Amino acid sequence: MKTRVVLADDHQIVLAGLRMLLEGQPDFELVGQATSGAEALRVIKDTMPDIAILDISLPQLSGIVITRQLQDECPDVKVILLTSHEDRGYLTQALDGGARGYVLKKSASECLIDAVRGVHVGGLYVDPSMAGYLSDTSRSRTSRVGIGLPGLSEREIEVLKLVALGLTTKQIADRLQLSAKSVETYRGRGCAKLGIRTRDEIVRFAVTQGWLSGP
């Protein structure tokens, strides 16, 4: 089955470019589009897509406000926020509001397709430049967080945190200077200790620990 997508951006040129990008994928189906927040919310409720891609700065209702509202009214719709904002404050608001993806407009042509596919299967996707920034700045909190998690080693926490941030096994291995096999081992041990298995469960656990927010 195709991934059903709604797209919303108030700039017609940007909207047209993103539409072409999405429609060029054989596994995607664009079921609606909008140029304002109110229209986006209406289209989402009418079509109930798998993924809603929303510009954060939509007129009438911002992408973050819509995301929070969908948590109550359409919880099965996963939201990817598209933005020009690269500061941690917007990212934190997005994740706290329930967004499952955060993609910068400047890298949308390279990242948006991966974001949709990753979020659709239950993952969290953060633009690579932002994911690295968050993981670096939150590393100093690892030992403090670990105090409340007596079963996890510091390395297991690091790996699970990076998994939750959307990094691949290879990216985690490069960042921590480990082999891919070691990364999978730490991930497997950490998940076994917590009684979880999927990336979606790792993301939910990371949210409860505050791993996805700024320090």
Shared domain for 163 and 195, answered yes or no, is yes
Measured in Å, how far apart are the chain's first and last C-alpha atoms? 40
The yes-or-no verdict on residue 214 having pLDDT over 60 is: no
Shared domain for 146 and 96, answered yes or no, is no
Residue 214 belongs to a domain: no
The yes-or-no verdict on residue 52 having pLDDT over 90 is: yes
Which whole number is the average pLDDT over 58-78?
91
Which whole number is the average pLDDT over 186-194?
85
Domain limit, last residue, from 102, 126, 150: 126
> What gap in Å lies between CA 210 and CA 183, rounded to an integer?
22
Residue 179 belongs to a domain: yes
Shared domain for 140 and 100, answered yes or no, is no
Shared domain for 117 and 159, answered yes or no, is no
Residue 186 corresponds to which amino acid?
Answer: Y
Q: What is the CATH number of the domain that holds 68?
A: 3.40.50.2300
Identify any residues that bridge with 19 across adjacent strands, giving them in sequence order: none
Shared domain for 82 and 147, answered yes or no, is no
Non-local CB neighbours of 30 within 8 Å, separated by 6+ positions: 5, 6, 7, 19, 22, 23
Domain limit, last residue, from 126, 147, 164: 126
The pLDDT value given to residue 97: 84
Structural domain containing residue 146: 133-209
Q: What is the CATH number of the domain that holds 159?
A: 1.10.10.10
Number of domains in the chain: 2
Which whole number is the average pLDDT over 35-61?
94
Non-local CB neighbours of 148 within 8 Å, separated by 6+ positions: 209
Shared domain for 27 and 69, answered yes or no, is yes
Residue pLDDT, tens place only, 93-142: 888 888 988 999 998 888 899 889 888 877 778 887 776 555 443 443 33
Q: Which residue has the higher pLDDT, 78 or 149?
A: 78
Mean pLDDT is lowest, of 34-38, 166-170, 185-189, 194-198, for 194-198
Phi, psi of 78 (to 5 degrees): -95, 135
β strands within the chain, DSSP E: 3-8, 28-34, 51-55, 78-83, 101-104, 125-126
> What gap in Å lies between CA 165 and CA 76, rounded to an integer?
20
Shared domain for 10 and 112, answered yes or no, is yes
Shared domain for 34 and 96, answered yes or no, is yes
Mean pLDDT is lowest, of 17-21, 33-37, 115-119, 169-173, for 115-119
Residue 215 belongs to a domain: no
* Residue whose tokens read 């690269």: 86
The pLDDT value given to residue 133: 53
Domain limit, last residue, from 89, 107, 126: 126
The pLDDT value given to residue 90: 84
Shared domain for 122 and 197, answered yes or no, is no
The yes-or-no verdict on residue 53 having pLDDT over 50 is: yes
Residue 157 corresponds to which amino acid?
Answer: I
Structure-token pair, residue 155: 């390395």
